[in-house]
Structure 1
Amino acid sequence: MSIQVKNIQKQFGEFQALNNVSLDFNSGELVALLGPSGCGKTTLLRIIAGLERADAGTVILDGEDTSDTHVRDRNVGFVFQHYALFKHMTVFDNVAFGMRMKPRSERASKAEIADKVHSLLKLVQLDWLADRFPSQLSGGQRQRIALARALAVEPKVLLLDEPFGALDAKVRKELRRWLRKLHDELHITSIFVTHDQEEALEVADRVVLMNQGNVEQIGTPEEVYQHPATPFVYGFLGSVNLFKGRHMEGGVHVGESNLAHAGTVLNHGGAVLPGADVLAFARPHEIDIHTDSESTFGVPAKVVRVLRFGLNTRVELDSTDLLATQHFDVEISAERASYLNLQEGQLVRLSARQLKIFDAVGTA
């Protein structure tokens, strides 16, 4: 089932939750709505489900305007962050609940319901827990049961609101891989809300970046990560260093120092005039560290902490010549770290091999 939302507006008091949002979701696609708390992603999901009503705009499911259609008639499965399982029911009865609640004319027989429940529990790899109660399950198991219950009514659309938000990091990672595999088997049009960048990039076919009720960028995980369209997208996706400076010939000046060097690649986010105030972004692995004896260019900084693990070393630093202290994260190879022999408190300089620069005028 394809989904379209057109010119969706939603306001809570004076708070603008959604500001004229229009999106297309392709049939069989798994899309992540990604953004910080309060950006409007959950509100949009609830409007698609019919759990919330938009102030203006339309929701179109498979070419049909369903803006005024009741939630029970939209054929949508919904999975909440906190499972929402019935505590007094067994796993079997939780999964069977939606099928048993259908009108008598549409309801399957007891035997058919039992077969369907066992089939779904096998699908989520928990058929051996049918007689347990939710309190006897782990968080990850409860969430898989919640997903089986949502699938039991054979929805054409699956909506997931922070489905793994209440779980620890290890379980989250296991479940998102499992969700991707399950989606590849079922091909149900699915939209999931998350504030976890890694989760969205790892699981989704496409990512919708949202901020303050607006859509900032839409694209594949690779597109939004490699080619962020706005400063917000660059700053939100993954670890990044932000430098506020001036765009000068030959580089970006931060304070009195040039962050760029002869080999720096400058990627411009739109027209940036020489001399303009800019926001310059660089990922931790795109920054070089130079000791004072090595170089006289680059932004001065002080080593705060050196974290050595695996093939790479992470170095945390503070600026030393800016009016307000800025913090930087740099990732270098273990060999480079050994050569530099960095110590806490050591003064160094930072330069960037690659910079994405945006005009600072009109940006947050």
Structure 2
Amino acid sequence: MTIAVKNINKRFGDFVALDNVSLDFPQGELTALLGPSGCGKTTLLRCIAGLEHPDSGQVLLDGADASDRHVRERQVGFVFQHYALFKHMTVFENVAFGLRVKPRKERPSEDQIRRKVKELLELVQLDWLADRYPPQLSGGQRQRIALARALAVEPRVLLLDEPFGALDAKVRKELRRWLRRLHDELHVTSIFVTHDQEEALEVADRVVLMNKGHVEQLGSPDEVYNHPASPFVYGFLGNVNVFHGRVHEGVLASDGVEFDVEGHGSGKGTAYIRPHDLEVERYAEGAEGIVVKLRRAHAIGPLAQLDLERTDNAQIIEATISNERYVALNLKDGETLVVRPKRLRVFVDEGAHA
């Protein structure tokens, strides 16, 4: 099923949750709605499900206006953050629930229900827990049962609201991989809400970055990370060093440091540099770049993260280098270094004056 929202607006009192949002969700794709708390992502998901009604705009399912359709008629499976399993029912009965409450003429026979539930529990690799009750399961197991229950009614759309938000980091990582594999098997059009950038970039086919009720950017994980469309996207996706200044004649001047930014007009400018896009060397007389002192190094695993303090204005700069490079340099806390950007992105407000 294809999903589209056209000019969706939603307010809660004076708070604008969605401000004229239009998006298309292609058939069979897994799309992440990503953004900070209060950006509108869960409200949008609930509007698609029919759990929330927009003030204006349309929700289109396979091109047909579903805005007035009841949630039961939308053929949507919904998975919440906190599982919402029935504690007094076994795992089997939880998964069977959606089938048992169907109208009599649509309800499968008891044999069909048994077969279907068995298949789904095998799909989520938990068939051995059929007779257990939710309180006897781990958080990761409960979430997989919640997903099996959502799939039982054969939804044409699967909506997941922060599905792994209540789990610890290790279990979340395992479930992310599992969800991606499951999606590749089923190809059901899926949308999941998260504020975890790593989760969105790792799992989704496409990422929708939202901020204050607007869509800031839409694209593949690679596109949104490597080619951010706005300062907000740059700042939200991963760590970044920010330099404010003024652009004039192809140069951004920022607190005594100049960056070559050919192709930009004049005005207030901001340079964004990822920690891994900085070269780090020992300081030598006359060296070009930003002079810094090493305040702290965190070298666990393949990468070393360096906290550097500019010697001229005490700004903290983060740099990431390989552990091999860190070992080869044999750096010590307090040592004077110089950093240079290998790559940077500049946004210029050409209407502003510094």
The answer as to 2:64 corresponding to 1:64 is: yes
Residue in structure 2 matched with residue 347 of structure 1 by the alignment: 336
Matches within 5 A, 1:60-99: 60-99=60-99
- Given the two structures, how large is their TM-score scaled by the length of structure 2? 0.94
Distance 1:295 1:334 in 2: 27
The answer as to 2:217 corresponding to 1:217 is: yes
The answer as to 2:329 corresponding to 1:337 is: no
CA contact (8 A) 1:34 1:210 kept: yes
Matches within 5 A, 1:32-47: 32-47=32-47
Distance 1:47 1:326 in 2: 44
From 291, 295, 298, the equivalent of 2:282 is: 291
Residue in structure 1 matched with residue 180 of structure 2 by the alignment: 180
Q: Cα deviation per residue 1:279-304 (whole Å; 9 max; x = unaligned)?
A: 11111111122333255432333322
Q: Cα deviation per residue 1:228-253 (whole Å; 9 max; x = unaligned)?
A: 11111111112222121233556433
- Given the two structures, how large is their TM-score scaled by the length of structure 1? 0.92
Matches within 5 A, 1:298-317: 298-317=289-308
**Paired AA for residue 87 in structure 2:** K
Q: Rate the CA distance shift 1:11–1:361 in 2: closer, same or farther, 3 A.
A: farther
What's the Cα RMSD here? 1.9
CA contact (8 A) 2:265 2:350 kept: no
CA contact (8 A) 2:308 2:316 kept: yes
The answer as to 2:232 corresponding to 1:235 is: no
The answer as to 2:264 corresponding to 1:272 is: yes
The answer as to 2:189 corresponding to 1:207 is: no
Residue in structure 1 matched with residue 316 of structure 2 by the alignment: 327
Residue in structure 2 matched with residue 191 of structure 1 by the alignment: 191
CA contact (8 A) 2:283 2:291 kept: no
Q: Rate the CA distance shift 1:76–1:295 in 2: closer, same or farther, 3 A.
A: farther
**Paired AA for residue 307 in structure 2:** E
For this pair of structures, how many residues does the alignment match? 352
Name the SS of the counterpart of 1:149 in structure 2. helix
Name the SS of the counterpart of 2:304 in structure 1. strand
Distance 2:280 2:228 in 1: 25
CA contact (8 A) 1:257 1:297 kept: no
1:361 deviates by: 6.2
Residue in structure 2 matched with residue 25 of structure 1 by the alignment: 25
- Aligned identity (percent) is 63
Name the SS of the counterpart of 2:325 in structure 1. helix
Name the SS of the counterpart of 1:154 in structure 2. coil
327-336 or 196-205, which moves further after superposition? 327-336
Residue in structure 1 matched with residue 255 of structure 2 by the alignment: 255
Distance 1:107 1:163 in 2: 28
Q: Rate the CA distance shift 1:104–1:134 in 2: closer, same or farther, 3 A.
A: same
CA contact (8 A) 1:27 1:189 kept: yes
CA contact (8 A) 2:239 2:275 kept: yes
Residue in structure 2 matched with residue 245 of structure 1 by the alignment: 245
101-110 or 251-260, which moves further after superposition? 251-260
Distance 2:343 2:286 in 1: 18
287-296 or 208-217, which moves further after superposition? 287-296
CA contact (8 A) 2:250 2:264 kept: no
Q: Rate the CA distance shift 1:320–1:10 in 2: closer, same or farther, 3 A.
A: farther
Q: Rate the CA distance shift 1:319–1:287 in 2: closer, same or farther, 3 A.
A: same
Structure 2 portions without partners, runs of 5+? none
Q: Rate the CA distance shift 1:28–1:166 in 2: closer, same or farther, 3 A.
A: same
CA contact (8 A) 1:20 1:214 kept: yes
